[in-house]
Amino acid sequence: MSTPLPNCDRSIAQAAPANAAKSAEHPRLILATTVLASSLAFVDGSVVNVGLPAIARSFPEQTIGVSWIVSGYLLPLSALLLIGGAAGDRFGHRRLLLAGVGLFLAASLLCALAPTLIMLLCGRVLQGIGAAMLMPTSLAILGVSFSGEARGQAIGIWASAGAAAGAIGPLVGGWLIDILGWRSMFLINLPIAIGALYFGARYIRDCPTKDLQSLDGLGALLATAGLTALTWGLTIGSENGGWSTSAIAGVGAGAIALTAFIIVERRRGTAAMMPLRLFASREFTGLSLLTFLLYGALGGMLVLLPYTLINLMQYSATEAGAALLPMPLIIALTAPMMGRLAARVGPRWPLSSGPVAVAAGFLLATRIPSGVSYWTSVLPAMLVLSLGMAGAVAPLTTAVLASVDPVHSGVASGLNSALARTGGLVATAFASAVLVSHGEKLSSTFRWAMLVGAATAIASGICAFMWLRKKESS
């Protein structure tokens, strides 16, 4: 997943306590550090989608699906994002940020040098762990280093930079793949990580934190095990082998582990990484379902579209990366306007109608395999889908923060961000049915995937319409 995520994540920083630091030494360099660190996650979350066909060609003897190159990154990021934020509070934001960036740097080198697909997958998992450490920590640093109007400006710059990184990542990565091969796309991370380590070590200082609770290690373990088993089962069940005993057993084991996770979270109460009391809010429950479904549909699209363009439509990696560029541009230009509209009419209608427009974009995308021109097949679908996402991402941030008590806003926004990644993870598992197809079968399975994406987007809009209240007249 790429571009819209900064808008989903930015609420974590907006939810910082009111007694955050009034000022910070070297504020611009602190902001630059957080931008560089988070750009690692945004770039890698988008550029690899363009590289999947080249990776598959490099390992023709592969015994695991190429979709795991995406899932291996999203899985630890989804499962550990919440505990990553708590770990930063406990061990120090500076320390965890530097550790996360350092791990991401080492993992990127492993990915670039990986001799086998298994080693590449290990590198991707380590990148996901590093991203789970640095993402919430970079936002927390913004929250405690700035206050008032300065904080809003810093968050805006952070979100814009993240969107830009996610947008330019596929284009630059595709160009490098065409020129130097897929391994070069992981080397993009090296100068970014080195810059973040230098500025972070020199200019970031930790603020003392009081009344810290123990980390929810058991919850994190069960969430990781559950999502791993579930993803594995869904992936092999979606591939050519079908729903074998192993696939069913994987899904069953994942369901059991996730059920145990919910039980553990209920017992831990407010100390849980996912406090269940948040779901007592009708609005938060609806927004959580909307986020999971809408970002799941989008995540599947962002994996499948470049793969199909390269393997079926004979696009180069650079052209496939450029094909995704309209989305971040449209969202950047129109999301502020959509946010102001939502402030006037309330989030219910924008969050209901935006996903319907996304669904229309998915329906238009069913024409892509038979299209002869980018301008008449790919671009119309991207324009409509992007306008729909622009209508949803800005109101979603505000609605999540407004759906719970202020004391829970940080956890609620972090959970919402984790659900966005989990939706993409599940969608990528199902996308295996397309990623193992070729020729006419690839064309057919891509169309079916787009129809499923349309239905999922509409379901997310229904969640908003059913669970969100109408805006009261002033």
Angstrom distance (rounded) from CA 230 to CA 257: 9
Angstrom distance (rounded) from CA 223 to CA 133: 16
DSSP-assigned states of every residue in 91-126: H-HHHHHHHHHHHHHHHHHHHHH-SSHHHHHHHHHH
Task: Kindly give, in sequence order, each residue whose CB lies less than 8 Å from that of residue 2, ignoring residues fewer than 6 positions away.
Answer: 42, 45, 46, 49, 166, 167, 169, 170, 302, 324, 327, 328
**Token pair belonging to 334:** 């129109």
Angstrom distance (rounded) from CA 467 to CA 29: 42
The more confidently predicted of residues 101 and 416 is 101
In a domain, 421, yes or no: yes
Angstrom distance (rounded) from CA 83 to CA 71: 19
In a domain, 142, yes or no: yes
pLDDT digits (tens, 9 = 90+) for 62-116: 656 788 899 899 999 888 888 887 787 778 888 899 999 999 999 999 999 999 9
Give me the number of domains the chain comprises: 1
pLDDT reading at 165 higher than 70: yes
The more confidently predicted of residues 269 and 57 is 57
**Amino acid of residue 11:** S
In a domain, 368, yes or no: yes
CB 163 within 8 A of CB 3: yes
Q: What is the pTM of this model?
A: 0.87
In a domain, 209, yes or no: no
User: Which is nearest to 342 in space by CA: 333, 352, 332?
Assistant: 352
* Residue 205, Ramachandran bin (φ over 0: left; ψ between -120 and 50: alpha; else beta): beta
pLDDT reading at 230 higher than 80: yes
Q: Can you give the pLDDT at residue 246?
A: 86
In a domain, 24, yes or no: yes
- What is the CATH number for 411? 1.20.1250.20
CB 295 within 8 A of CB 8: yes
In a domain, 34, yes or no: yes
CB 154 within 8 A of CB 31: yes
Q: Can you give the pLDDT at residue 15?
A: 54
The more confidently predicted of residues 350 and 366 is 366
In a domain, 474, yes or no: no
Angstrom distance (rounded) from CA 409 to CA 281: 12
Angstrom distance (rounded) from CA 20 to CA 26: 16
Query: What is the CA 142 to chain-centroid distance, rounded?
Result: 20
Residue 366 sits in which domain range? Answer: 5-204+218-467
In a domain, 151, yes or no: yes
Q: At what angle do helices 68-91 and 409-430 cross, to 10 degrees?
A: 160
